[in-house]
Each structure stands twice: as structure tokens, then as C-alpha cells.
């Protein structure tokens, strides 16, 4: 478990930016504030 004073572990994920699918890494945003938003049901056909 990560505590508030610890850095989040680096990860890689696919994202959409300006209509394009891109791969992002948490380290791409080093020394910046980052808000992560996950929506598990997005792009699924339920």
C-alpha cells in the first residue's frame, strides 16, 4: 500500500489524447501534479 508521503510506482498505460491512442508513463509527468481517473466499464460492451 502506498502512503501519502510515498511516490507512486511507475507504470505504462494506453490513453487517448486529441483523438489519438498513445502510450503514457507516469515518469512522463515527473515533477508535475497528476490526477488519475479510472473508469473500469469504459469501452466495454456490457
Rounded to whole angstroms, how far apart are CA atoms 14 and 17? 10
The pTM is what? Answer: 0.55
- pLDDT of residue 11 exceeding 70, the answer is yes
Residue 26 gets which letter from DSSP? G
Residue 6: predicted pLDDT: 87
Contact 25, 15 (CB under 8 A): no
Helices H / strands E in the chain, number of each: 0, 2
Position 21 scores a pLDDT of 93
pLDDT at 20: 92
Amino acid at each position: 500500500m502506498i502512503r501519502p508521503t510515498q511516490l507512486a510506482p511507475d507504470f505504462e498505460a494506453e490513453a487517448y489524447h486529441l483523438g489519438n491512442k498513445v502510450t503514457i508513463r507516469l515518469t512522463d509527468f515527473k515533477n508535475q501534479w497528476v490526477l488519475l481517473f479510472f473508469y473500469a466499464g469504459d469501452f466495454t460492451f456490457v
